[in-house]
Structure 1
């Protein structure tokens, strides 16, 4: 009679340390800390001063929201290239509501911006999930359509800070315990979406769809519904980002949000979201956004020219994609090894 001896189980502390060491988020945090340390040594005001610490939290807040929404979409093996145009439209809607309806409560304006973003996300999701058109094609088209509508709507009537209430503009630069309000909002959204993605059935199904759409179909998952909801959530978060953009900068013209879609995708990829879907976390995407914005602030202080600033971001994206490929191959070979051992 053969007695099977199970290997000793690791204690919870050891498992937690092992998980932390292997986590992609840990590497991103270490990279962020390295940038902060190097830049602070060169220019102490970058982090040590009150304004430096505040800017470190305030500047990436809007992009954290965009990265979270983009991460939800990419996890389903899709992409949303229209987020920059959606930011422009929702930011301008915010200003127009204050101009056309003086005295309108600020919460109503915020809800209107989120609702418009969700509607635009719904259009993207419906075209992709129901019409079976690739997300890259659909959102590239809506990027130009939404931007064209924005340019037509703005015309020669951009929104200025004088057009919006002081309380709303103050909201964009206010702080609580020296932590910017926008950063607090971004953190709360991150916690809520992270909890949804990791603990609810809907969040787990998004990962399942991105991992293997064919298997998800055979399993009976409602792929179209989940993909549409992912795009609606991305649109709603982008709408919120547009509202906060108006509050933060006070001026909204037809070019507001231009290029934000590339930053959101870059943040998600650098943050560990697999470009082919199915893995990664919204926490990693959020840290990726902070890392990219911090690098953009740090490199000029280090005397790096504009060209090299863009090159560094590009190198980070390529490095993240290469790392994802290496990790995927390692997982594949490990599964093959486990299967072979089981057969033996």
Structure 2
């Protein structure tokens, strides 16, 4: 009797712990939002210039490109993949477009954007082919293509930069112009997220992406074409990276061979902070947006507080590590909660 009572107490304790973690999973984005608000208040107390209109506008603009890339990376990670080549794809797209507009000064900015997206799509389809058709592990395929795309960037540029004075004002103005009173970069990011939200939550293909990441075997038995899904998500990622290359070059008014080197790690970090499971199968667009915003705030606020660049990296790394641990605990809690429900 005594042992039975102890077992019941232990079971109740496990159930409560699992239920709490499962409940936290439902409101994770709210918790992240509260953390961002508290962080903003703290930074403002340390530097009154943080919440000024000028600084906030600059911060949001800087975060726009990161958020666009994070959306594509979310889709890739949900399918249990990874893309380490996006920084190189961005650089290659940006370099070719910069060279093109420097020669054809009258080229319309929309045409330049389409060229960049096209280059990114070619890169993404290439990676998707190796991953979906050949069966190469995503980390191996994208690591190899990262170096190939970066090498192509240096090859087409001959190691030379394309500077702002070589680009037409109409192209550079992509980053400074406004649409409906909103900065063009931010407007493009908003449009992409609206499309992405509808695609993920209200289309059959969007649900299939989650199914492939949650349980590939079950998805295969259900008749889902995994080859098509994998090829599609890497193509989307490539297209968004190509678009980001054009926006990056327009914003910084220069194209270099080492543009966005290592930026893929920042994009992955934004996804992890936003609650996207590196094991695949779970992730929300709202979380990815908040993850990108949090990184944008950290990149902007730490220099304002005169934090050493070395400590900036350590602080960001610590926050990412905390997010990974929290994601693992939440996932374990959800799994335990589901298991207990099945037993009941």
Query: Could you tell me the TM-score, scaled by structure 1's length?
Result: 0.90
Query: Hey, what does 1:10 align to over in structure 2?
Result: none
- Alpha-carbon distance, 1:154 to partner: 1.4
- Alpha-carbon distance, 1:118 to partner: 0.9
Confirm or deny: 8 A CA contact 1:35 1:298 kept in the other structure: no
Query: Hey, what does 2:287 align to over in structure 1?
Result: 284
Give the Cα–Cα distance (whole angstroms) in 2 for the partners of residues 282 and 163 of structure 1.
38
Query: Hey, what does 1:107 align to over in structure 2?
Result: 110
1:30 partnered with 2:29: no
Query: Hey, what does 1:224 align to over in structure 2?
Result: 227
**Among 331, 339, 342, the residue aligned to 1:339:** 342
- Alpha-carbon distance, 1:78 to partner: 0.2
Give the Cα–Cα distance (whole angstroms) in 1 for the partners of residues 226 and 316 of structure 2.
33
1:41 partnered with 2:25: no
Give the Cα–Cα distance (whole angstroms) in 2 for the partners of residues 309 and 290 of structure 1.
16
Query: Hey, what does 2:82 align to over in structure 1?
Result: 79
Q: Alignment partner of 2:259: what SS?
A: coil
Confirm or deny: 8 A CA contact 1:175 1:181 kept in the other structure: yes
Q: Alignment partner of 2:161: what SS?
A: coil
Confirm or deny: 8 A CA contact 2:101 2:171 kept in the other structure: no
Give the Cα–Cα distance (whole angstroms) in 2 for the partners of residues 21 and 229 of structure 1.
28
1:151 partnered with 2:154: yes
Confirm or deny: 8 A CA contact 2:102 2:168 kept in the other structure: no
How many correspondences in the alignment? Answer: 323
Confirm or deny: 8 A CA contact 2:175 2:250 kept in the other structure: yes
Confirm or deny: 8 A CA contact 1:126 1:228 kept in the other structure: yes
**Among 300, 304, 312, the residue aligned to 2:303:** 300
Moved more, 161-170 or 244-253: 161-170
Q: Alignment partner of 2:174: what SS?
A: helix
Deviations 1:135-166 (A, max 9, x none): 01110111111101111111243111111111
| Structure 2 portions without partners, runs of 5+ | 1-21
- Alpha-carbon distance, 1:180 to partner: 2.0
Q: Alignment partner of 2:234: what SS?
A: helix
RMSD: 1.7
Deviations 1:212-260 (A, max 9, x none): 1111111110001001100000111111110101110101110111111
**Among 116, 134, 137, the residue aligned to 1:134:** 137
| Structure 1 portions without partners, runs of 5+ | 1-17
Confirm or deny: 8 A CA contact 1:84 1:259 kept in the other structure: yes
**Among 242, 245, 249, the residue aligned to 2:245:** 242
Query: Hey, what does 1:182 align to over in structure 2?
Result: 185
Query: Could you tell me the TM-score, scaled by structure 2's length?
Result: 0.90
Deviations 1:267-302 (A, max 9, x none): 111111000110011221122112112101111222
Give the Cα–Cα distance (whole angstroms) in 2 for the partners of residues 240 and 41 of structure 1.
37
Deviations 1:302-337 (A, max 9, x none): 232112211121112211221121112112211221
Confirm or deny: 8 A CA contact 2:159 2:257 kept in the other structure: no
Give the Cα–Cα distance (whole angstroms) in 2 for the partners of residues 335 and 251 of structure 1.
52
Query: Hey, what does 1:123 align to over in structure 2?
Result: 126
Give the Cα–Cα distance (whole angstroms) in 1 for the partners of residues 286 and 97 of structure 2.
28
Deviations 1:6-56 (A, max 9, x none): xxxxxxxxxxxx989933221222222122111112212111x22112112
Change (3 A) 1:156 1:303: closer
Confirm or deny: 8 A CA contact 1:57 1:180 kept in the other structure: no
